[in-house]
Amino acid sequence: MSLVWPTILVLIVAVTSVLVVSGGALFYLHRVRLERPAIGRFNRRDILLLFGFLVALPLLYVVVPQWLLTGFLIVTFIGSLSIGYRPVLRRTWLWWSIGLLLGSNIWLARTMLGTLAGWDLYWAENSLIVALGAIAVANLYAQGGMRLQHVCWFALFLAFYDAIFTLVWPITNELTERFLGYPLDPSMGMRFGIYNATIGLGDLLIYALFLTTAVKAYGRHVVRAVVAIIVVFGAAAPALAPLLFRQLIDARTDLIVPAQTLFGPVAFAYYRWARRRYGAERTTGQFVASLRGRPAALPDRALIATVG
């Protein structure tokens, strides 16, 4: 089997997707402020919890019936889109838009996948939902206090996780197969002939988080380096890897690449370098203050009474 054509397709889809999502997340970070709860910020324990979810959810996704899986995905996307775009759209517009996007996706998946044009329409619409979702969630985390340190440790964990669950215990392959052709596939993709080229929501989210938290931590001058790492190690290298490693082709001739295995160690190494080069990360408050052109300051507020 010639791998050149599918590899090029994956390369195009992957690079385009990571640039759209990471760029969109960065744009959002600079333009939109998400509401935060009164108390709470992202910390290490949240990362461990996220990792726990990440390990448990795919196992659950593999065993639950398809209708329940679709239900989970609907709830997930409604949650991310409604939280992420509440500051941008009026409530009526927001809910109509979400309903239209998700409803169309279900309709397209059920009725339009008999033709190539139908697949392309489905993938275009699905990719829009996934990109919007990834941009929203990346900002929810980054604006919620997640730091570059957290993202890079998480990426390092994922490097092992991805390798194990792709090469040793191919849960990822099974999941990819389960999602394909059903509503709300958590991937961005496109179909060219018989090939579906996709990149998963989890990967996109990590890249968007890497860029947003890096800019939050050290400012815009890190954009070039970070985008280069994302494009080279997050999109290009995983897309080209099957040319060198035939083990990535499974029995159904699907190409499943553990992208985080390539990206995680590089991202972590970059974080260690950046920390030595630029020092401690800025807090979210300092970042927001820098956007407003002033240093972070505490508000002057009222007092609680004390008893004499």
Partner 1 sequence: MLETGIRQMRMAMSMALGRRLSTANLARLVEDALATLDEFGEPGADSAALLDGPGADPAAQPELVADSLRRTATRLADRSPFYARRFVAAEINPRRIDTDALRRVPVTCKRDLIRRPAEFRCAGATPHLATRTTGTTGRPAEIWLSRYELELWAGLGALAAVLRDDLRRDDVLQISVSSRATASVHLNAATYRLVGAGCRVLGTVPPDEALDALAEDGATVLLTSPSYLGELVNAAGRRGLGPDDFRLRRIDVSGEVLSPSLAAAARRTFGVAEVKDNFGMTEVIPVTGRLCTAGHLHFDATMGYVEVLDLHTCEPAAPGELGTLAITPYYPYRECMPVYRYDTRDVVRALAPDHLGCEAATAPASGVVLGKADALLRLPSGTIVTPRDLVEAVESLPTCPWPARYAAEVVDGRLRVTLSESAVAGLGHAGTREHLASCGIEADVAVVDDAEAQYLRAVRSDLHETTFVSSPQRLGA
Q: Is 297 in the site for partner 1 (CB under 8 A)?
A: yes
In the complex, least distance from residue 260 CB atom to partner 1, rounded to whole angstroms: 23
Smallest gap from Cβ 300 to partner 1, in A, equals: 7
User: Hey, is 25 helix, strand or coil?
Assistant: helix
Number of residues that bind partner 1 (CB under 8 A): 33
Near partner 1 by CB under 8 A: residue from 39, 63, 168, 251: 39
Nearer to partner 1, 150 or 191 (CB): 150
Nearest CB to partner 1, comparing residues 143 and 176: 143
299 binds partner 1 (CB under 8 A): yes
- Range 253-292, binding partner 1 (CB under 8 A): 283-286, 288-289
What is the rounded CA–CA span in Å between residue 183 and residue 110? Answer: 8
The SS3 of residue 197 is strand
Nearest alpha-carbon partner for 14 in 250, 210, 198, 213: 198
Least CB distance to partner 1 at residue 134 (A): 19
Residue selected from 1, 45, 194, 251 as contacting partner 1 according to rule CB under 8 A: 45
b/e per residue 67-106 (b: at least 16 CB within 10 A): eebbeebeebbbebbbebbeeeeeeeebeeebeebbebbe
* In the complex, minimum distance from the CB of residue 33 to partner 1, in angstroms, rounded to a whole number: 10
What's the one-letter identity of residue 50? L
Could you say whether residue 305 binds partner 1 (CB under 8 A)?
yes
CB of 258 to partner 1, least distance (A): 27
Integer CA distances (angstroms), 77 to 145, 151, 180, in order: 22, 22, 17
CA 163 to CA 169: how far, in whole Å? 9
CB nearer to partner 1: pick between 111 and 286 = 286
- Determine the Cα–Cα distance for residues 199 and 176; give it in Å rounded to an integer: 10
73: nearest Cα among 146, 212, 175? 175
DSSP secondary structure code for residue 279 in this structure: -
State yes or no: residue 294 binds partner 1 (CB under 8 A): no
Q: Do residues 204 and 134 lie in contact, with contact meaning Cβ atoms separated by under 8 Å?
A: yes
Residue among 4, 1, 6 at smallest CA distance from 190: 6
Only one of the segments 204-212, 236-244, 258-266, 296-304 lies at the binding site for partner 1 (rule: CB under 8 A); that segment is: 296-304
Q: Judged by CB under 8 A, which of 1, 63, 168, 302 binds partner 1?
A: 302
Q: Say how far apart CA 213 and CA 164 lie, in whole Å.
A: 27
Q: Does 308 bind partner 1 (CB under 8 A)?
A: yes
Contact with partner 1 (CB under 8 A): which of 27, 30, 49, 245?
A: 49
Residue 7 token pair: 């590899």
Interface with partner 1 includes 301 (CB under 8 A)? yes
Which one, 39 or 63, has the nearer CB to partner 1? 39
304 binds partner 1 (CB under 8 A): yes
Determine which residue in the list 1, 35, 168, 224 makes contact with partner 1, applying CB under 8 A: 35
Q: Which of 145, 183, 186, 258 binds partner 1 (CB under 8 A)?
A: 145
Q: Which of 11, 14, 10, 4 is nearest to 244 (CA)?
A: 4
Under the rule (CB under 8 A), what is the footprint of partner 1? 35-43, 45-46, 49, 144-145, 283-286, 288-289, 296-308
